[in-house]
Amino acid sequence: MAGSLRDRLIVGLDVPTVKDAEAVVRELDGVASFYKIGYQLAFAGGLDFARELASGGTNVFLDMKLLDIDNTVARGVENIVRMGVSMLTLHAYPKAMRAAVEAAKGSDLCLLAVTVLTSMDAQDVVEAGYEYDPHTLVLRRAEQALAAGMGGIVCSAAEASAVRKVVGPKLALVTPGIRPAGAERGDQKRVVTPADALRNGSSHLVVARPIIGAVDRRAAAEAILAEMANA
């Protein structure tokens, strides 16, 4: 799914209201063409906004991280397909992934498997009850996503190179936790610069705070695209 640099930069609309999101999209008109809508905005009217963006030809990444019984996941995916969005996340549990793939069959929706959240480190994974370290768990889930027929993987760019070796060249590899050179890490624990992420095999970069929180959002997005071009 990788195309031009603009198509590979996904701006996270991590803002509290649709009005705020509309302002971001206006400011980035002509610079960004792909937006992520997650829980915060989704539960404030963001799902209707996602439909509106998609109907106008804008790429939308719906970051819902679905996980439920097979039938519930399948029925949810069927309705999300009708929204016209480009990408949807699920937690990388094999049964849920298989149900989602079957439900999305024949559509253009790219299903993404969330491996290990980029806000989690080794201690967090242990605390959650997993026997694997984050790197091992990411690779295991990437293998399961590939076997299930998913369209891509969400992982840290620090693991992108290893994941790319597992899933091959065709799957989308979407990496959050991207921070431009010199930016603050925030609550992310496994972060990488835009250029390094692309070199590591990422197909799409998700950037929220460094753009949304910038005084000049347009300039911030253009600077990130320039970093990506240097890769």
* Residue 98 among known ligand-binding residues: no
| Known catalytic membership, residue 65 | yes
* Residue 66 among known ligand-binding residues: yes
* Residue 108 among known ligand-binding residues: no
Q: Strand 172-175 and strand 152-154: pairing? A: parallel
| Known catalytic membership, residue 29 | no
* Residue 69 among known ligand-binding residues: yes
* Residue 68 among known ligand-binding residues: yes
| Catalytic option among 7, 63, 170, 189 | 63
Residues 6+ apart with CB under 8 A from 167: 142, 145, 146, 153, 173
Q: Rounded CA gap, 15 and 166, in Å?
A: 34
| Known catalytic membership, residue 68 | yes
* Residue 95 among known ligand-binding residues: no
* Residue 193 among known ligand-binding residues: no
Q: Rounded CA gap, 58 and 55, in Å?
A: 7
Residues 6+ apart with CB under 8 A from 3: none
| Catalytic option among 68, 95, 121, 165 | 68
| Catalytic option among 19, 20, 48, 65 | 65
**Per-residue b or e along 58-97, where b marks 16 or more CB atoms closer than 10 Å to that residue's CB:** bbbbbbbbbbeeeeebbebbeebbebbbbbbbbbbbeebb
* Residue 230 among known ligand-binding residues: no
* Residue 72 among known ligand-binding residues: yes
* Residue 19 among known ligand-binding residues: no
- CB of 123 within 8 A of CB of 152? no
Binding residues for substrate: 14, 36, 63-72, 118, 179, 188, 208-209
Binding residues: 14, 36, 63-72, 118, 179, 188, 208-209
Q: Which amino acids are annotated catalytic?
A: 63, 65, 68
